[in-house]
Structure 1
Amino acid sequence: MTRSLLIVFIVMSAITAQAQQAMQSTSRVHVFRLGPHQDLKKSLVAWAQLHKIKAAVVVTCVGSLEQYTLRFANQENGTSLAGHFEIVSLTGTISETSTHLHLAVSDSTGQTTGGHLLDGNFIYTTTEIAIAELPDLAFGRETDTTYGYKELTVKRRSSKP
């Protein structure tokens, strides 16, 4: 076997092993709307706690903000900016105990910025959100020794709610 084929085989074996560890689940989609001045992240956390969500993912989110607060890549602190912004994307995982969400917003010229969603993202006119709950799974967070961050863990739930 040539060296390049061996490398491809090793990489494909690693990807296959990771894919085999992935878990599948049925889903139940929740759709709701947030109104002016509500905090996007705090509202999502409160929704997950109210509905005792063990595992969910954001399907789509569109709307507008009057202020965004994001933490950019490899930065310790967040950045806030007031104005009028369109939500062009929200993605991530949600449970009643934790969230990991990234937001992309555009300004009036179409310039887009994105980062890790923090508290302090206030709705301007409206925000429409669809979230897929994964009732067969439970998300958790455990410290990954690589960098010391709490990273996603996925477990199969023994019984559905």
Structure 2
Amino acid sequence: MAHPKFESSNLRVHCVRLEPGMEIKSSLLSYAKENNLQAPFIMTCVGSVTKATIRYAAQPTADSTVDLNEKMEICSLVGTLGAGGHLHIVLGREDGSTISGHAIGNLEVFTTAEIVVGECTDLVFNRTFDSRTGFDELDIQKRT
């Protein structure tokens, strides 16, 4: 089933720095709510964490998570923040290897998290249950 294509020609950019001990996902969701961002997404992020809870791809349930407790660099953080958010993260370990997955939460900042958030100012991001995937998926609407 094809979904309608939405184009946005209006972009607003927000720059956020999270400090040591702050939790990244909840902080970003709070920032989006406090600033009434209706179609926010992550443009870029650098920083580090001391712990993270992630879910690897194709796990049997949404509860199949892994808790990481180590100092890691944020190599990538991508996704949308509307309606509870959907974020994926790549973390670099001390030995140079990486680990990645769906960012569930518990992403505690170690030194900093420098994040640039974009917002399509003429759209709204919601999440709607998709019976084919079993998850709430992105539902894009024109802002009225």
Instruction: Give the TM-score normalised by the residue count of structure 2.
Output: 0.91
Tell me which of the two structures has the higher relative contact order, counting C-alpha pairs closer than 8 angstroms and 6 or more residues apart.
2
> Gaps (5+ residues) in structure 2?
none
Q: How does 1:10-159 map to 2 (within 5 A)?
A: 21-25=4-8, 26-75=10-59, 76=61, 77-95=64-82, 97-158=83-144
- Structure 1 or 2, whichever has the larger Rg, is 1
Q: Alignment partner of 2:105: what SS?
A: coil
Q: Alignment partner of 1:41: what SS?
A: helix
Count residues in correspondence: 140
Runs of 4+, deviation exceeding 3 Å: none
Aligned-partner residue type, residue 12 of structure 2: R
- Decide which structure has greater helix share: 1
Q: Alignment partner of 1:121: what SS?
A: strand
Q: Percent identity?
A: 36
Report the CA distance between 1:123 and its aligned residue. Answer: 0.3
Report the CA distance between 1:148 and its aligned residue. Answer: 2.5
> Gaps (5+ residues) in structure 1?
1-13
Q: Alignment partner of 2:112: what SS?
A: strand
Query: Deviation per CA, 1:119-150, whole angstroms, max 9, x where unpaired?
Result: 21100000100010111000111111213321
Provide the aligned C-alpha RMSD in A: 1.4
Aligned-partner residue type, residue 146 of structure 1: R
